[in-house]
Structure 1
Amino acid sequence: MSSTILIVDDEPQVLEILSSYLKKDGYHVITSENGKEAIELALTYPIGLLVLDLMLPDINGEEVCKEIRKHSRVPILMLTAKSGESDRIKGLELGADDYLVKPFSPRELVARVRAILRRSGEYQTLSDHIQIGELAISLTYKTVTKNGIPVELTPNEFRLLTTLIRHPGRTWSREELVSEVLGLDFHGSDRTIDTHVKNLRQKIEDDPKQPVYLKTVYGLGYRFEDPTKN
Structure 2
Amino acid sequence: MVVDDDPEIVNLVHIYLTNDGYNVIPVYNGNEALSVISHHRVDLVILDIMMPDIDGMEVCRKIRKDNVVPIIMLSAKTEDMDKIQGLMTGADDYMIKPFNPMELLARMKSLLRRFHLFTQQDGDNSSHKDDVVQINDLKINKDYHEVTYRDSLIDLTAKEFDILYLLANHPGKVYSAEDIFNLVWNEPNPSNNTVMAHISNLREKMERAAGYKMIKTVWGVGYKIDQ
After superposition, the Cα gap between the structure-2 partners of 1:124 and 1:22, relative to the gap in structure 1 and judged at 3 Å, is farther
Which protein has greater RCO, CA pairs closer than 8 Å, 6+ apart? 2
Are 1:114 and 2:114 matched, yes or no?
no
SS in 2 for 1:73: coil
Deviation at 1:43, TM superposition (A): 2.1
The answer to whether the 8 Å contact 1:81/1:103 transfers is yes
Give the structure 2 partner of residue 50 of structure 1.
45
Q: Deviations over 1:153-195 (max 9, x none)?
A: xxxxxxxxxxxxxxxxxxxxxxxxxxxxxx899xxxxxxxxxx
Structure 1 distance, partners of 2:17, 2:108, is 9
Are 1:73 and 2:68 matched, yes or no?
yes
Runs (5+) with no aligned partner, structure 1? 1-5, 128-182, 186-230
The answer to whether the 8 Å contact 1:118/1:124 transfers is no
SS in 1 for 2:25: strand
| TM-score, structure 2 as length reference | 0.52
- Count of residues in Structure 1 that have an aligned counterpart in Structure 2: 125
Runs (5+) with no aligned partner, structure 2? 123-186, 190-227
Structure 1 ranges of 4+ moved more than 2 A: 122-127
1:16 maps to which of 11, 32, 42: 11
Structure 1 distance, partners of 2:110, 2:97, is 19
Give the structure 2 partner of residue 85 of structure 1.
80
Structure 1 distance, partners of 2:25, 2:114, is 22
Give the structure 1 partner of residue 90 of structure 2.
95
Query: What RMSD in Å do the two structures reach over aligned CA positions?
Result: 2.2
Deviation at 1:40, TM superposition (A): 1.0
Are 1:37 and 2:28 matched, yes or no?
no
User: What amino acid does structure 2 have at the position aligned with 1:62?
Assistant: M
Matches within 5 A, 1:111-190: 111-121=106-116
- Percent identity (aligned): 45
Structure 1 distance, partners of 2:121, 2:106, is 20
Deviation at 1:63, TM superposition (A): 0.4
User: What amino acid does structure 1 have at the position aligned with 2:56?
Assistant: G
Structure 2 distance, partners of 1:98, 1:21, is 19
Deviation at 1:80, TM superposition (A): 0.3
| TM-score, structure 1 as length reference | 0.51
Deviation at 1:117, TM superposition (A): 0.4
SS in 1 for 2:52: coil
The answer to whether the 8 Å contact 1:43/1:72 transfers is no
Q: Which structure's CA Rg is the greater one?
A: 1
